[in-house]
Structures are given as C-alpha cells and as structure tokens.
Chain A
C-alpha cells in the first residue's frame, strides 16, 4: 500500500494536488503470499513438485504424480508489514504499517484412478495478496528544506485482497509425463480511505504588497475502490527425469472480465491571515480575528471502467531433485510479463499509467528435509521483485519551468513516480507428521530496499521495507 503525502501541496500549487495521491494496493509483487503447506515452507519453489492440492496454483501437471488423496488448509496466523521512507519528512522518517491475517490456501485433491488411470482432480481457494491497514499518524513541527510544517496528521485505512478459487486436473499421459489444466476465478479488491491534514505557518503577501502572518492549511479526504474480476487458466506440464530429477513448466494468465476504479476526493487549501484587532472594546481585551483570505476546494468523483487494463502472463519453470525419501530440493524461475498496452504508451499520465508493469523475473529455491520420519523441516529463499519502473531522479530547472510546481509534465515524470521496492525473502517451517496427517508451522520473512517519491516533490527517498508472517497449516491424507 502506498500513498503520496500531501505535504508538497502546502507550498506547491493546488492544481497538482488532485494528481498527487494515487493510492495503490501492492499488485506489483507476485510473491507476497506463499501458497500451500509444503510449498510455503520451501520458499514457493514447487513447480517441479506440485503433487498436492496446491498444484492447481504451482503446476497442474504435477497433480498427476500425487501419492494420495489429501485435503489441506493453511492460514497466516499473523502477518505484518513495515515500510520506512527514509528522511521523507526532512530529517524524519515516515513509516507505513499494516498487519492482519488471511488464509493463503485451502484445497483438496482426489485421485480418480478408478475412473481413468492416472487422472487426478483438485480444487483450491487461495490468496496471493492481502493487506489490512489502520494507521493514525500525527506529527508536530518538522522541517522540509526551508519549509516548517507545524502539524501534519494522516489517518489511513485500507483493506485489500487478491484471491483465486478454482479447480484443476492432472493426467499422466506417459509414465514420466504429467500434464494439467487449472481454471480459477480471480478477484482483486481494494478499498482505501485516507484523510490528510497539514498546516504551515507562513507570511502571506497581500495584493497591496504588505505581508501578514498566517497559515496555509491543506486537507484531503480520499476514498478509492478498485475491483477487478476475471478468470485465470493455468497450463502445466511436469516430467520425471533420470536420477530423481523432475522438471516442470507452468503458464498462466488472468483474463479480466470486469474492472472498475472509483475515486472520490475532496481537497481544500486555505490561506488564513492572523490579524490583530487592536481596538480594545469596553467589555474586554482585544480579540484575535481569523480572516480567511483564500479558500480553494477541489472535489472530484471519477469512475474508470478500465483502470488496470491487461494483466500480465506468467511463466514458471521449475526443477526438483528427489535426492532421497528424506530430502527434496527445488528451484523455480518465474517470468512475469510487463503490461505495455496502448493507453500506457500513449498517455503515461492516464489513470492506467499508475498500474503499468514492467517484466519481472523472480527466483525461488527451497528444500524439505526429514530430520526424523516424523519431523520434516522446510526452508527456502526467494525474490519478490517490483514490477513498477525504477524511480528516476529528475533535474529541476526553474528557469525553463521544469520544476514540480511549475510543469505538470515534469511533475508527473519526476515528482509522482510509484515506489520501487525489490524484496528478498526466506521461509522456515517445521511439520509434525502422523500416519494420515501433518501439521506445520513456521515463518516467512521478506526484506526489501528501494526508492520512492513520498511527497510529490522531486526528492527521492530511500525505502526499507520488511514483511513477516507466522503461518500454520494442516493436511489430512486419505
């Protein structure tokens, strides 16, 4: 979740403010939530394995090699995310925080050998992203450059989720070759409501050339709701190679059926003078009169029916090595296409430009090691790279009008760029296996670095972000 702070508007022109607050859920990282009991522990490297119900997500071709029927559910007991924008407020850092819980995966698998030899069916409901935010941030008196902000206050509430519900089948066309197809319903839904208030003391120049003390007060109230629905077919193939190796390939793409983005914003800027009525009355001392001398309110209600446009195609290749019954190692490489549809190309300032994505490559590797037959440990490493473009530093040139407050083009290109944060993650889970079941618990950590423009001026902040989730799961084999 990212929003631009309102502060630049205190000193910048009001005209820019309406464009200064695009609020986006994190649809630009593809490994925010790891799915599946075993896969979760192995850093999400599961394309070469995929022989349980989570195969509908990783590789339906792997379903064909399932050993038994199973039903499994996993839940994040708790997750949290903390993103620090270094020195975003002068010398002060600004932190975005969110936390909550969600269910990464619930699914089941049924072998259908009695009907068709080598046929396996599975179903699953799984979340690949989720966020819940309830943040109140009041900050008193800080300085950005030469500007002193007396008071800044933001309340930010957001809920966002991306989930799939679907089914798949796997079939062994050859003894060592499985193919599979999955089809999932897709829904991404995010609602953001944010109020911001900023107050700055300043001297106001009046039309007669005189100056008075006063304040600039900015407030904004924004509600934004994004809803995207679609279907995702997933094709997968898995082949068993000599020496205990397997290889897999999965291709999936979400076909959007409907999408909408509703935005309602109410932004006001008020300049207030502090004039002293020196004429004492007979009934009491002198009083202070506040005289608004300029008050500008911008209200907007917009609805876009095609804000996200196309969604990218994803291809994953995986390799697994079943070294022994006690040790399995897996490696996945994924490529997620970029979104460069016509709107983004021709109008980089359109709403959809905020959702533009670059091609991303991610890597994951993990292992499962049975310390004893009852207690396997799973661990993995993975990347979670950002699909948004790198943040570029502009060179303001006031003389030619190339500054954030003077040039809209410059502002959009160098002052309102989306964050770019690349993550590295690790997972560690331990399971307890009984003859027909197992429970597993563990933790997934992600740490990211990147850049952002939190204020909407041409300053670029370093960003440090950490995510963690405690998860547990249960599987029953039948």
Chain B
C-alpha cells in the first residue's frame, strides 16, 4: 500500500469520525462544485460574496422584524403591495435587483428597508396613505434605500470600527472586573481557510470580522433606534419620488403623505420621528426636487380609485 493510499484511508477514517463534520464537509464540497461560482474571477467572487452577505443580513433582519411585529397574511393585499412595489422598483435605478414586500401587523406608521431587498411596511403606514401614488412614493423611498445600499454600506462602514470598539469595550469591562477576568479564556487563533469556511456554515460568520448575526443586530439597532444619516433619508425621499414619478404617479404624493403624518398622534409616528429627519425638512427637500422636474416627464396619476377599493378591504385595526 502506498503512502498515498494510507493518507486516503486516514482521511476516510477522519471523514467518518463524526457525523457533524461529515455533513459540514459535504456542504462545503457542494459549494465548491457550483460551476457558476467556480467560473468566477476573484473580483467577481468578491462582489458575489458581498451581495450574498447583504441578502443574509437583510433576511436575518426581516425575520426579526416579522417575528417582532407579526405579519399580515391577507394574500390579496400582500400581492397588491408587491405589485405596486415591484412596478415602482422597475422604474428605479436598480431594476435588476430583487425586492420583496410584506406588511407588518402594527398600527404605527413606519416602513423598513432591510438590505437585500426585504421591504416591510406597517399596516399603519398603509392606512395613512390616501392614494396609490402615496403608497408608491413610500415604497419608492424604501426601494431607493435598498438599491443604493444605504444600510448595508453603513453597516460595512461601521463594522470594523464599531466591532473593534465593541470588542475593546467588552474586553475592558472584563479586564476591569477581576471576577470576570479570571474566567476569560484564550482568544481563539485565526483559523485556516478551510476552518473559516466551515465556521461560516456552522455559525453564520461571513467575511472577515463580521458575523451575519452581529451585523443584523447592529442593523436592527440602526433601523429601530438610531436611523440612517439624514442625508441618506433625503436622498431616499428624492429618489423614491423620482421612481414613482417615472412610473406615472403624481409627484406631490409623498408631500401629502408626510403632511398627514405631521397631523397624526405622536404615538403613531414616534418611532418614525426617532429614526428619520423632521417631516417639515423632508418635505422641503422633496419640494426642491419637484421644482427641477420637467413637465413632460410627469404623467401624474394618483391611482386614487383603485387604492380606495383596496383600502375598503383592509383588515380591521386591532384594539389598542
């Protein structure tokens, strides 16, 4: 028997040692055999992995939001939302991206654009709209966030800095506490390429230094507490209006939607105000855009009649 066959036999035994490793190994093998991935250049692969990471983070965030708020399961209403959202997105700057729209079972007015194209709108936001054009503008705003990767880029920017900070903070907290410090175990070594790969599949760690769960947790904090930079919100407002206008909706719809929000009870827009610039400023920014629009680009449909028919079938609001 050659040393090579000894090696192969040894590997075979190792392969059979635990079912866990065997399953993981099979998974890795399957991934490596994907012909599309195999044909990628390193640059293409980097882009591919980046988009895959974006989708994973967004999916994780969307799962958390859906789990927290609950989901409206009215198929006709959800189909309508997807129809309008996809239509507006098709007139956006990133029509090739995939978008999915769902309705959160909550009466506050809010909408969330998770990385990867997961767009969630609250039932309260739908109720606040008076026309399809207003809904289209809101969806256009969220489509712009996704297409321009506002949140994902912000997460990536913050990742190394914030992770380093968080790690340092955590370490300092432990180092300053002798009763925790004595429990501190060694810092694990950076793994091999195969090890990193396996860890990716076992633990959701993707990329260097950023885990999907950690990124999603940071994203959740951003989406529900801190919000994006106000410049990004203004950009999403303007881009969203642009997409909706291109799709044939009336240009002032977003203005009327935001104006109505200002008249709402504080409770309904509390979270929105916390994570977005003031309504008045947003309206001013949109007004600037509207002044620059050319008349021939505007069709100006409000879609009011169709929207009213849909609205008449909205589920009853839940008490409280």
Q: Interface of A with B (CB < 8 Å)?
A: 49, 51, 65, 67-68, 77, 175-176, 240, 244, 322, 325-326, 370, 372-374, 376, 432-437, 439, 441, 472, 474, 476, 478
Contacts and interface: CB of A to CB of B under 8 A. Distances in A.
Interface string B52-81: 000000000000000000000000000000
B179 A240 contact: yes
**Among all A-B residue pairs, the 3 with the closest Cβ atoms:** A373-B186, A437-B203, A240-B179
Contact of B183 (A51, A372, A432): A51
Contacts of A49: 183
Contacts of B20: 77, 439, 441, 472
A175 B177 contact: yes
Which residue, of B183, B186, B204, has the highest number of chain A Cβ atoms within 10 A? B183
Given A374-B189, A478-B217, A67 B184 contact: yes
B186 A325 contact: yes
A372 B190 CA distance: 12
B179 A373 contact: no
B36 interface: no
A374 B188 contact: yes
A322 B189 contact: no
B202 A240 contact: no
B205 interface: yes
A363 B93 CA distance: 68
B213 A373 contact: no
Contacts of A68: 170
Interface in B194-234: 195, 199, 202-205, 211, 213-214, 217
Contact of A67 (B180, B199, B202): B180
Given A67-B183, A77-B18, A478-B217, 18 more contacts: A65-B179, A77-B20, A175-B179, A325-B185, A326-B186, A370-B186, A372-B189, A373-B187, A373-B188, A374-B188, A374-B189, A432-B195, A433-B188, A434-B199, A436-B211, A439-B202, A441-B20, A476-B203
A38 to B, nearest CB: 10
27 contacts: A49-B183, A67-B174, A67-B180, A67-B183, A67-B184, A77-B20, A175-B177, A175-B179, A176-B179, A244-B182, A325-B186, A373-B186, A373-B189, A374-B191, A432-B195, A433-B185, A434-B195, A434-B199, A434-B203, A436-B205, A437-B202, A437-B203, A439-B20, A474-B203, A476-B204, A478-B213, A478-B217
Contacts of B199: 434, 437
B292 interface: no
B203 A322 contact: no
Contact of A472 (B18, B174, B185, B204): B18
B204 to A, nearest CB: 8
Interface string B131-171: 00000000000000000000000000000000000000010
A85 B320 CA distance: 67
Contacts of B174: 67
Nearest to B195: A434
A370 B185 contact: yes
A433 B179 CA distance: 22
Nearest to B185: A325
A68 B202 CA distance: 19
A325 B213 contact: no
Given A67-B174, A370-B186, A472-B20, A434 B191 contact: yes
Contacts of B211: 436
